[in-house]
Structure 1
């Protein structure tokens, strides 16, 4: 801002100076009158070449003679001797890549935060205000001098003492002697024999076996309104229900997810069957089909009031207080959470059973089955899992469970 104001004042002063002092003759000492323009020219990095062109100062040319020697060599080759050496055979192998595909459903994808990069650029310029206008200004001059009279610029250039540019033209003469040399060549040639043995490209794929489907998806559950232990449900013996027929039975593709306050009702897995949220038992049974080799984890959490977990033969028949794999009892952690792990081979069927007991107060029950890679394959939000079935279609790999009320050992 200060530089612009300064240039404006200089331009205004020059307007009056250029009209008061004609600057046509180089013999007249007018430098004091155009000192301001001279100062402006000194601010211009290319003042000398500009003024030289502006004043039409011609370049003075001089001539200089130089002599250069450029020898020409004549090469006469001698006899070439070639020695051939055959190296040992090198065998290379084409190694193919291996692709592995897994059948366990992947974890939920995370949304990537979108990032938006913005860039701004600013450009600034400094110019003499448009309000300063001097008649007879010079066109084609740098912006620094665009509002200055041509006569003032001409005088200021002369005051700078711009030297006359010179140019030297070199005229060369070349002396060309002839040199003769002899080149002896001894060459050694090595031959390497390479044999490439391609291998068979093999892609290893871990198959995704699934159990046959014949109306057998989901698990079975039974509801019992008969809970003879009352508020002492922690003393419940699941074997009591071996020979007791349920008040309601159905199938579900999900387990757990029950969380209701005291005095409310519980919708039994979306079947439309609503039951009082106190003094009842839910008995679940089914098979898990192993997708891959590894340890499968069964977990019940936040039990209110009690949960028994059975895996293997005891889950099929004969479940009791003596053979459960995990037990969770209300109401404080870690006692209200329990888990068990079972190692399976791909294609194995494993029977499992969860018996949940509720007395008075709130009713809370959660359950999950986790695959070896940590993927949850059964919980309260599972929909039509291909790997949770009631029985196998062949009737022998995973036989149907006995009828409810006829499960004695």
Structure 2
């Protein structure tokens, strides 16, 4: 038996059970059942055909891959009593076994002309249903010259918008710092559910409008939980003339996770390799909500 874990594989049925023992006995009565995950909080019994040990850390679960040990649950011998001795630390790095490293980015035409001190007429929502003319993956977030962006030349470097999206894996508990040291014309940051779906200019966590080099950077701080994946989106637009931008993320210990120069950023991924990580793949570009 394993405490605080779940298998993370496909279940063929979900039922209710008063306790872990009852869940295991239900599995034992079904021929294709080889694994059980029991969530005491909801009293849900998840039955599957996984033959190996559970792999996913999930503190509210008790799991087993051998239904023959159901008798061990008698007399208070179940995982819940042993949980304090079976606590496991989250992985130090996100799972990148499925080719998911880095951030997605896409180039969009920007027909907006710069107006006012804060580029107030730029609306990032239009990118949701617009097909980009170029897309790729990056390990850094930032450029110092809009003529070349991540090795590519925009169709019109004076009028271009770049949308970045992915997940930040929190490798430490604590307060993370997100800053936009430079922005010309406009940079926007979303962290959390709005980054995945429903983003607008009004609900951005950080807005940096024309922040020249050597000016005081705008900052957003958020307390994150170690081992979790957080949706993150960063967009930038240039509305005429020179253009540049950068997003800098720092961990609670002050180390830089990503900026405009990073060549390897191990804590940024495009999606989670397993459904259990809760880091779903984003909708295709041009089909977002």
Q: TM-score range by the shorter chain?
A: 0.5 to 0.7
CA contact (8 A) 1:304 1:336 kept: no
Q: 1:335 to 1:406 in 2, by over 3 A?
A: farther
C-alpha distance 383-228 of structure 1, shift in aligned 2 (>3 A): same
- Structure 1 residues 246, 235: closer, same or farther in 2, change over 3 A? same
Q: Is 2:175 the partner of 1:289? A: no
Alignment equivalent of 1:390, drawn from 270, 278, 284: 270
List runs of 5+ in structure 2 lacking aligned partners. Answer: 1-87
Partners of 1:341 and 1:275 in 2: CA distance: 35
Determine whether 1:379 maps to 2:262.
no
Q: 1:403 to 1:206 in 2, by over 3 A?
A: closer
1:241 maps to: 127
Q: For residues 249-294 of structure 1, what are the alpha-carbon distances to aligned partners after superposition, in whole Å with 9 as ceiling and x for unaligned? A: 11111110x223xxxx622213x44543201100000101011111
- For residue 149 of structure 2, the aligned residue among 243, 261, 268 is 268
Q: How many equivalent pairs are there?
A: 197
CA distance in 1, matches of 2:216, 2:108: 22
CA contact (8 A) 1:287 1:391 kept: yes
* Residue 357 (1) aligns with residue 242 (2): no
Tell me the SS of whatever aligns to 2:120: helix
Q: Structure 2: how far apart are the matches of 1:317 and 1:336?
A: 30
Q: Distance in 2 between matches of 1:332 and 1:362?
A: 11
- Hey, what's the Cα distance between the residues in 2 that align with 1:406 and 1:275? 22
Q: TM-score, normalised by structure 2?
A: 0.63
> What displacement does 1:336 show?
7.6
| CA offset digits 1:154-197 (Å, max 9, x no partner) | xxxxxxxxxxxxxxxxxxxxxxxxxxxxxxxxxxxxxxxxxxxx
Q: Which residue of 2 aligns with 1:402?
A: 283
Residue 311 (structure 1) aligns with = 191
Q: Which runs of 5+ in 1 are unaligned?
A: 1-204
For residues 275 and 266 of structure 1, do their structure 2 counterparts lie closer, same or farther at Cα, with a shift above 3 Å needed? Answer: farther
Residue 160 of structure 2 corresponds to 280
User: Which structure has the larger Rg over C-alpha atoms?
Assistant: 1
CA distance in 1, matches of 2:104, 2:287: 15
Relative distance call for 1:302 and 1:386 in structure 2 (3 A) is: closer
Is 2:259 the partner of 1:259? no
Counting only pairs closer than 5 Å after superposition, residues 114-193 of structure 1 correspond to structure 2 as: none
1:183-233 per-residue CA deviation (whole Å, 9 max, x = no partner) reads: xxxxxxxxxxxxxxxxxxxxxx977522111100000001012x2321234
Q: 2: CA distance between counterparts of 1:324 and 1:207? A: 29
Q: State the alpha-carbon separation in 2 of the partners of residues 294 and 306 from structure 1.
A: 28
TM-score (norm 1): 0.45
1:387 Cα offset (Å): 1.1
